[in-house]
Amino acid sequence: MTIGYDSLDVNEDILLDLLFDEGTGVLAHDVAKPHHIASLAGHAPAWDKIVGSGLGILKFGSGLHTFLEIPGADTLDLDFIGDFSLAAWVNPVYTPTIPPMIMCRNTTDLCGWSLFLYDNPTHGPILSFRTNQAGSHCECWAANFPTGAMQLVGCSYDSVAQTVTCYRNGLPLITNYTPPFLVPVACGAGNKLLIGCQEDELSCWFEEEMWRPRAWGRKLSDNDWRFIWDSERHWF
Amino acid sequence: MLVPNSGLRIDSPSWPLLQAHLSYWGITSGAGNVLGTTIACANLANEPNYTGLPVKILSGNASGQVRLISSDIAGVITVADPFTNAAGAACQITASTRFCILSQVSGGGSPSPPSPSIGLWMFGECDPGMAASTVTLVMPNLAGFPNDIFNNEFYVQVIHNNNAPGVAPEGEIRKVTDYVGATGTFTTDAFTANVEANDLVCVIHESLITPGLEIISDVVSDIFDLVNAILVTTETGGTRTTTAAEQDMYINNAPAGVYKPLVLKISTTNMIAGDSIVIRIYERISSTGALELQSEKQFDGVQNEVLKKIILYPNRHGVETTIQRVAGGDRAYIWEAVFDL
């Protein structure tokens, strides 16, 4: 029995889906329809696997300053100005004062969006999501993203209601922000999609393990998140 | 029954009254637990079981408080709710504390709390002082049973999230992996969110669990794995510009399990006279083996059927497809791989 990838409800409007099943080399291919190709060349995380299941992952490693990039011109479809959602499986390691970046398309008060973690001195390890406007930005956070375990993290953004919800392991979390949460300004071809560091490619390094970063051009529902969690948690 | 008659005349009318109203009068022989839910009196082991009767503390910081006995086992009385001190904190019943067991059963008013004798379904209330945890639940009303009696046969379902009704872990069920009778501490498989003080749970024997419930048991997890193993047809692709070296197109170097690549398609639209390319397919057939050449095909010059299709085969240990220019110029070749995942 087979089910087509595009016929799965959860894959509706999916725009990026990096399976990381190459296991070697310096390219990671997107199984979503746009066929983005992420380059690891010159800054490659290590190809690795989950011991128990054999699932292929990327291991970024502490202090190694590794990341993936997709050229800006190839990611105009990820230049969100409407509803969108971001997700990834991550096992983060935190370094004081450094917010490990999961993925971003610019992180400054200019344009784009970013999804990152941070071991906040007050709130503990948090997930943050940010949209950038010209000269300002909107940012939210949700708590309880510990180190030491693979976890499904991400957020769903509603551009009409201008609200955002963070998720962990298929469940919606209390998401803290000051409404309204404004839509990002489009970056155009000038900004890459980066996975594992921020747009200067010099800081906010993600450390440890990551699998299957994804992006959708729609707001994933609670049921969508739960479906992903139920479908994939057995790997870890 | 043990009722004092010290200082009473044998014909004192107080004596039959005491006998009528008291089942037991004693002094603790040791300290109860720090949660304030147990009373240790070794002599009770020589008495009949008093479960269901009220026990009243007569000295110490909880003096005057009355609680219902939820279990009476081997000289240890367990009560459903902890004794408390003047500050409202749990009060440990220390050694040499005077207490009595009253000869009363409830009647009228609100119903008494459920009795926690071991049943196939039991009600539990998380201790007010319990630390939030996804795996450790302290329920004094379910203390007093032999250690490990619930292990791997009982499940805990959170039936009410006290501070956030309707929010996880409410509704979730997890298997009990350890039980400590002295404190009523249950260790379970991890809930997706913390179980917290005052949350209400039920402890269910596996024989009562039906498929309609959300159960994260080994059996159901196995079923999940099987369902998740149903293949999904997926595809990926890209553009590869040739060089004189062999270059990867589609590759799955270390599959997590048996999977099924279906076909590789390559567009040779950009080839011109004098160009030659070689497409190669490699497979690995053992975990420690190398990717070995399975087939290769050379294409020369302008192609009439520009779209080339190469069948790929199911495998366990990896597949690689490559392209190499062997004559002429370097061109960009669009490729697509379709596979069941």
- Among the residue ranges B65-79, B212-226, B239-253, the one predicted with the least confidence is B212-226
- Distance from the B197 Cα atom to the nearest Cα atom in chain A, whole angstroms: 18
Among candidates B269, B273, B281, B272, which has minimal Cα distance to B239?
A: B269
What are the sequence ranges of the domains in chain B?
Answer: 14-102, 121-227, 233-340
Query: Is A5 within a domain?
Result: no
- Distance from the B259 Cα atom to the nearest Cα atom in chain A, whole angstroms: 11
**A54/B224 CB distance under 8 A:** no
Among candidates B175, B135, B122, B118, which has minimal Cα distance to B152?
A: B175
- Distance from the A109 Cα atom to the nearest Cα atom in chain B, whole angstroms: 33
Q: Give A214's pLDDT tier (boundaries 50, 70, 90).
A: very high
Tokens of B12: 């004192």
**A3/B225 CB distance under 8 A:** no
Instruction: Report the alpha-carbon distance of residue A69 to residue A47 in Å, rounded.
Output: 16
Report chain B's mean pLDDT, rounded to a whole number: 87
Q: Which helix (H) or strand (E) holds A231?
A: helix A222-232
Query: Is A115 within a domain?
Result: yes
Given the candidates 2.60.120.10, 2.60.120.510, 3.40.50.150, 2.130.10.10, the CATH classification of the domain at B233-340 is 2.60.120.510
Tokens of A88: 């990834």
Average pLDDT over residues B19-24: 86
Among candidates B156, B117, B151, B166, which has minimal Cα distance to B133?
A: B156
DSSP-assigned letter for residue B133: B
CA pseudo-torsion sign A77, A80, A82, A84: positive
A159-190 residue pLDDT tens = 999 999 999 999 899 999 999 999 999 999 99
Q: Is the pLDDT of residue B217 over 60?
A: no
Beta carbons of A193 and A75 less than 8 angstroms apart:
yes
Amino acid identity of B205?
A: H
How high is the ipTM of this complex? 0.86
Query: Is A3 within a domain?
Result: no
Give one DSSP letter per residue of B140-168, joined into a string. Answer: GGG-SSPTTTTTTTEEEEEEE-TTSTTST
Average pLDDT over residues A125-135: 96
Query: Strand A208-216 vs strand A56-59: parallel, antiparallel, or unpaired?
Result: antiparallel
| Domains held by chain A: number | 1
- Name every chain B residue with its beta carbon within 8 A of the beta carbon of A29: 236-238, 250
pLDDT recorded at residue B225: 63
B288-328 residue pLDDT tens = 899 999 999 999 999 999 999 999 999 999 999 999 999 99
Query: Is A221 within a domain?
Result: yes
pLDDT recorded at residue A206: 97
Given the candidates 3.30.1050, 3.90.1690, 2.40.30, 1.10.10, the CATH classification of the domain at B14-102 is 2.40.30
Q: Is the pLDDT of residue A79 over 90?
A: yes
- Name every chain A residue with its beta carbon within 8 A of the beta carbon of B228: 231-232, 234
pLDDT recorded at residue B120: 86
pTM of the model: 0.65
Domain of residue A71 covers 12-235
Q: Of B225, B250, B256, which has the smallest distance from its Cβ to A55's Cβ?
A: B256
Instruction: Report the alpha-carbon distance of residue A145 to residue A150 in Å, rounded.
Output: 10
pLDDT recorded at residue A1: 53
**B230/A3 CB distance under 8 A:** yes
Given the candidates 2.30.29, 2.30.30, 2.60.40, 2.40.10, the CATH classification of the domain at B121-227 is 2.40.10
B84-111 residue pLDDT tens = 988 888 899 999 999 999 988 765 555 4
